[in-house]
Structure 1
């Protein structure tokens, strides 16, 4: 059960459970580097889909390319092998179920790789030494024509949930297609990504806007700074050392407080992001567009939950969570005026 392009497997045995936008970028990098991997599916229908048709991928302005999983795909029930690493592409709500179903396939001393947003390491029932956290620094989304489009280059930050640094083979397996950072400070990267995602996903979804539509508005940029200020306050309170994902900007520099960048420069940075990614409808916006439940509880909801633990007020993030839940339930409609409300809080 290995990629037919490779004659000798010098890598640990890797499986991917849940082939979607983010895991497709990882699968492409493994394929390009001729690293053997196996694709696991939850049911026979998804197995048939992946065996019958390739998934189509495009990076930036490059060519659209097919990625085939023929010969390396099997359902969980059929698979008899054990794997050193199982990369889980499930949504956070389905993460524990995915772990329990694939746990019998994890080799002794093996690890799950959790690439979900928020703090997935805290919501699963396996030991910390069985978990690698993966913080994703790129955006891949499925377009209306079915193509998975990666809009930016970005790193994969890997760190042990037990605060150990992972094995160096990940660099050989994924670079140069995905730059890899190995860290013992996973929480520092998790908190940074949570702050940025709570703006990119949570704030934009609260009005169902593209990133350009969000950041071209002064109220949108001001609301973003308010979101990040609340995250910064928590990070400082609990003593987390923020680690910045390459290509991003520190939450501590964008949020209000000591050491922040000049106010005008922060608006310019946000405006530049809006220009670069003007048409991007992030995953949470697309969920609302399609009438699906979002992962707001794993983003802005995490900020609200953790802030209460430490006696910190987060009214902007609380308002975003409430708004998106109302949109999910069809009790409310998106309105630009909501950004103005947030900016005034």
Structure 2
């Protein structure tokens, strides 16, 4: 067991980072939450966090001793988890770069491929691919619906320090990798349907995958990304608990079509009521991350001259919904 711990901070508190926070809290790992506004600071200070994990057990914890306003912080950190949306990432990095120790690193847990936006920070970034889904229930409890895992890979192509296994396990299983891009592109493909396609139709996963037409559109979306990954010579790394894009998408190595449909049906039944993050953004009239999910696919495909009409349709449809909702 570790006797000393790296200094850890979290900037941006939402469903994903709360899941990480509860793991740190239950393992008694020191951490600091950097609050950006007084309202959020007071909310976290005055109300305990309720968290229900996939085992059904409800835990509550106080964050009072872990909070600081970012402008009042005097400490520097070995690691800072950045938990904002992709569109705000540049602002968060700028705001926290002076809080990193000389050899400190940010851990980016955004969807998409956020590391590509900040190539000049290559030596300062660890990519974090999140394999769980956590939502806020109507009673304000955070609910993690699946065990998931956190896949950590250094942008320099090396595996991060094995200490993360002790820091986050068993509450969050950790996978350390030197093949970050394979995991990133796999998760991007999964997000292109459970977030992008679901948002284009504003449906829960059950409503999406129990509809044959929508399942066919999902498989078209994955097939386009499979072809793109093959062109880029990216070897897929499957997030634990997920399904291989190389098998779901059409072409060499694919499963029989009926089995691919069956897998999506089972996914829809298991997570029937889940409205994923981008669907929730549209529900709340917020701007989505579509540019960083299916939009990333479209941008890369254009650079390579590869047609991806289904992904293009999803991007256009979600943007139309954003405009009609007058998103803020």
TM-score in terms of structure 2 length: 0.96
Q: CA deviation at 1:208?
A: 0.6
CA contact (8 A) 1:9 1:35 kept: no
Distance 2:301 2:100 in 1: 35
CA contact (8 A) 2:126 2:152 kept: yes
Q: 45, 64, 69: which is aligned to 1:70?
A: 64
CA contact (8 A) 1:95 1:124 kept: no
Q: Tell me, what secondary structure is at the counterpart of 2:321?
A: helix
Query: In the alignment, what sits opposite 1:117?
Result: 111
Residue 154, structure 1, aligned to residue 148, structure 2: yes
Gaps of 5+ in 2: none
Distance 2:325 2:63 in 1: 42
Give 4+ residue runs of structure 1 displaced > 3 Å after superposition: none
CA contact (8 A) 1:47 1:74 kept: yes
Residue pairs, 1:302-317, within 5 angstroms:
302-317=296-311
Query: In the alignment, what sits opposite 2:88?
Result: 94
Change (3 A) 1:155 1:37: same
Q: CA deviation at 1:44?
A: 2.2
Q: 259, 272, 275: which is aligned to 1:278?
A: 272
Q: Tell me, what secondary structure is at the counterpart of 1:27?
A: helix
Query: In the alignment, what sits opposite 2:241?
Result: 247
Q: Deviations over 1:47-79 (max 9, x none)?
A: 121111122211236133223211111011000
Q: Tell me, what secondary structure is at the counterpart of 1:327?
A: helix
Q: Tell me, what secondary structure is at the counterpart of 2:324?
A: coil
CA contact (8 A) 1:159 1:183 kept: yes
Change (3 A) 1:309 1:91: same
Q: Tell me, what secondary structure is at the counterpart of 1:274?
A: helix
Distance 2:325 2:113 in 1: 29
Residue 45, structure 1, aligned to residue 59, structure 2: no
Q: Tell me, what secondary structure is at the counterpart of 1:77?
A: helix
Q: Tell me, what secondary structure is at the counterpart of 2:34?
A: strand
CA contact (8 A) 2:282 2:325 kept: no
Q: 245, 260, 265: which is aligned to 1:266?
A: 260
Q: Tell me, what secondary structure is at the counterpart of 1:312?
A: coil
Distance 1:94 1:14 in 2: 21
CA contact (8 A) 2:132 2:146 kept: yes
Q: 317, 320, 331: which is aligned to 2:314?
A: 320
Residue 235, structure 1, aligned to residue 235, structure 2: no
Residue 133, structure 1, aligned to residue 117, structure 2: no
CA contact (8 A) 1:155 1:179 kept: yes
Query: In the alignment, what sits opposite 1:222?
Result: 216
Change (3 A) 1:256 1:200: same
Q: CA deviation at 1:152?
A: 0.5
Q: Deviations over 1:193-218 (max 9, x none)?
A: 00001000011111111100111011
CA contact (8 A) 1:96 1:125 kept: no
RMSD after superposition: 1.4
Query: In the alignment, what sits opposite 1:182?
Result: 176
Distance 2:54 2:136 in 1: 13
Q: Tell me, what secondary structure is at the counterpart of 1:90?
A: coil
CA contact (8 A) 1:132 1:158 kept: yes
Query: In the alignment, what sits opposite 1:5?
Result: none
Q: Deviations over 1:168-197 (max 9, x none)?
A: 000000111111000011000000000001
Q: Tell me, what secondary structure is at the counterpart of 1:121?
A: helix
CA contact (8 A) 2:185 2:229 kept: yes
